[in-house]
Structure 1
Amino acid sequence: MVKQNNDICTELLAVHAPEQELKVRKSISTSEKGVRYTATVNPERETVVFQVDGCIICDGDKCDKLVLSKNPADTKMWIGHFVELKHSDVEHAIDQLEATIRHTVFKHPSLTRKYARIVATRFPANNGNTPFERARERFADKYRCNLKRLKPNQPDSI
């Protein structure tokens, strides 16, 4: 367990090599197995991408990527975008994101806002009370986290 003397980004960088280095960006893109997440960074600011699955977390359910961006309102704080890249198993993606957000590493006080993203090539039909809709409400209530679904290459905003 890493001591919480620094911000989450400093602590993660001390232990894990990032997939994409910490630097000022206006857009970001990361992919796995042919599924790509893209986002515009507005306002332009420092971001870094970490591989979560098999790097930061090695056991149990976990998402694929973490995009950290400096909070433009307070540069000592960070915003986390937890990203799961899937072809179709949205319910499993929800479980992976939820397990990651609950993980002790991501309870750091400098991680002030959390967003969860499922990027999938196929989603089940939206007929009202789907597992995704129930999860979106649970993420908002329990974790103060916005859960959103995206198609590959559909731009998000950070």
Structure 2
Amino acid sequence: MGTHEYLRLQFPGLEHKLRKRSIVSVKEQNVCYKLEGLGECENIDYTVDGVLIPATKEGERKCDRLLLVKLTDGHWVRVFIELKATDVEHGLKQLVKTVKHDLFKSCGKGEKQVARLVIKRMPSSQNNPTVERFRDILARLNCLLKTLKPGQPESFKGLMGGR
């Protein structure tokens, strides 16, 4: 069962209508993720933190948003999005915990998944050891990680091509 169908069953009170938007933008506390060039692909975004995954324990980590994009061949792409001001490691931990969460392990087998950390202040070193460690962890979960600056647009073609 795909992620969209599974979420429709698990959360009947949420809006699950797919929309055709060529640009999707999600924002929290002046940090914005923007995906462009979706063309005719239907998509929907969900709030993860506090909605799909309720806060059950103090300090429990989960990402901010999940964007689902339906490809023309009926397959899906899951984009896990964390919007952060400065704490890179905390944001990366949230992405890993969300990707590993039972809600997402039990659905969408075979769907492509990627993780996006949008952060205002990224450490200056391009090959930051913390980022690379989490990039490896997420890769083992079949989830490619990319870090972006707020408002830096990402093309859908680039998202589908990897890093």
TM above 0.5: yes
Q: Report if aligned partners of 1:79, 1:111 keep a CA contact under 8 Å in 2.
A: no
Q: Report if aligned partners of 2:21, 2:39 keep a CA contact under 8 Å in 1.
A: no
> Counterpart of 2:44 in structure 1: which amino acid?
V
> Counterpart of 1:144 in structure 2: which amino acid?
N
Gaps of 5+ in 1: 1-5
Gaps of 5+ in 2: 157-163
TM-score (norm 1): 0.85
Runs of 4 or more above 3 Å deviation: none
Find the counterpart in structure 2 of residue 52 from structure 1: 48
Report the Cα offset of residue 135 of structure 1: 1.2
- The alignment partner of 1:106 has SS state of helix
Select the structure that is richer in strand. Answer: 1
Find the counterpart in structure 1 of residue 70 from structure 2: 70
Report the Cα offset of residue 129 of structure 1: 4.8
Find the counterpart in structure 2 of residue 11 from structure 1: 6
What number of residue pairs does the alignment pair up?
Answer: 149
Partners of 2:126 and 2:77 in 1: CA distance? 31
Match of 2:20 among 19, 24, 27: 24
Report the Cα offset of residue 111 of structure 1: 5.6
Q: Report if aligned partners of 1:117, 1:149 keep a CA contact under 8 Å in 2.
A: yes
Partners of 2:146 and 2:36 in 1: CA distance? 15
Partners of 2:102 and 2:39 in 1: CA distance? 29
> Counterpart of 1:17 in structure 2: which amino acid?
L
TM-score (norm 2): 0.83
Find the counterpart in structure 2 of residue 100 from structure 1: 98
Q: Does 1:33 align with 2:29?
A: yes
Identical pairs, percent: 36
Cα deviation, 1:30-85, whole Å, max 9, x if unaligned, reads: 1011111100144430000000000001132100000000133x31x321000000
1:150–1:128 CA distance, 2 compared to 1 (3 A): closer
Q: Report if aligned partners of 2:23, 2:35 keep a CA contact under 8 Å in 1.
A: yes
Find the counterpart in structure 2 of residue 148 from structure 1: 146
Report the Cα offset of residue 105 of structure 1: 1.3
Partners of 1:127 and 1:22 in 2: CA distance? 36
- The alignment partner of 1:44 has SS state of coil
Q: Report if aligned partners of 2:21, 2:38 keep a CA contact under 8 Å in 1.
A: no
Find the counterpart in structure 1 of residue 114 from structure 2: 115
Report the Cα offset of residue 10 of structure 1: 2.3
Within 5 Å, which residues of 2 pair with 1:126-137? Answer: 126=125, 128-137=127-136
